[in-house]
A and B are shown apart, each in its own frame.
Chain A
Amino acid sequence: SQQGEEDPQALSIQEGENATMNCSYKTSINNLQWYRQNSGRGLVHLILIRSNEREKHSGRLRVTLDTSKKSSSLLITASRAADTASYFCATDLGAAGNKLTFGGGTRVLVKP
């Protein structure tokens, strides 16, 4: 079973538009991370937000975390064709082993 669930499952936008995807999870977390995956290859770490943080920015990325609703969102501003990828949220429960529990992902297509 997967801790996080992303919404929507797929997203198609035009270059220059913003892309927003959401992640919901079930149990208390230590931190939540977002990853990008291109064409079934390895995962690239994008951003980490700790449970005591509410918002974080990295370049064109903005992540929010609402622990009361057990949800997070990832916003990609001014999207580019190179942003076409699958995006996953992963929760770290903080237990020994740093096991990451991933959601099913949002597949984003940015059309030029």
Chain B
Amino acid sequence: ETGVTQSPTHLIKTRGQQVTLRCSSQSGHNTVSWYQQALGQGPQFIFQYYREEENGRGNFPPRFSGLQFPNYSSELNVNALELDDSALYLCASRSVGVTEQFFGPGTRLTVL
């Protein structure tokens, strides 16, 4: 059984640019969630996808969007990057009806 993987590991962008982060869910998991973790803080829920549709969203603006693909991999897209978007972005997958989520190692995004 493979774990949750994320790519890239690190990324540097400039303000105003767009970024796509990728997540490959753990085998057999059909639900994926994305979290943003600013330095020194706890993760904050961005949104969750189930069956390729957004199924719950946190307090993030529409420039944060996502996709889930039939193979349960997922993307997080952020448009018009701002300095405050600098953070560790974590994805987590689980099976529907199961509470425990399995987190990937994260992508560290730096916006200059």
Listed in ascending order, the chain A residues whose CB lies under 8 Å from chain B are 2, 4, 31, 33, 35, 40-45, 48, 88, 90, 92, 95-105
Contact = CB atoms under 8 A, between A and B. Distances in A.
Contact of A43 (B31, B39, B43): B43
Contacts of B43: 43, 88, 100, 102
A21 B24 CA distance: 33
Contacts of B33: 97-100
Interface string B66-100: 00000000000000000000001010101000011
A41 B42 contact: no
* Top 8 A-B residue pairs of the complex, sorted by shortest distance between their CB atoms: A97-B56, A102-B42, A43-B103, A42-B105, A42-B103, A99-B45, A97-B48, A102-B43
Contacts of A2: 41-42, 44
Nearest to B108: A40
Contacts of A42: 4, 90, 103-106
Nearest to A92: B99
Interface residues of B, number: 29
B58 interface: yes
Contact of B94 (A40, A95, A98): A98
Interface of B: 4, 31, 33, 35, 37, 39-45, 48, 55-56, 58, 88, 90, 92, 94, 99-106, 108
A100 B101 contact: yes
- Classify the interface of chain B: helix, strand, loop or mixed: strand
A98 B94 CA distance: 10
B103 A88 contact: no
A42 B4 CA distance: 10
B100 to A, nearest CB: 5
A45 B94 CA distance: 12
Contact of A98 (B101, B105, B106): B101
Contact of A88 (B42, B45, B102): B42
A99 B99 contact: no
A51 to B, nearest CB: 12
A107 to B, nearest CB: 9
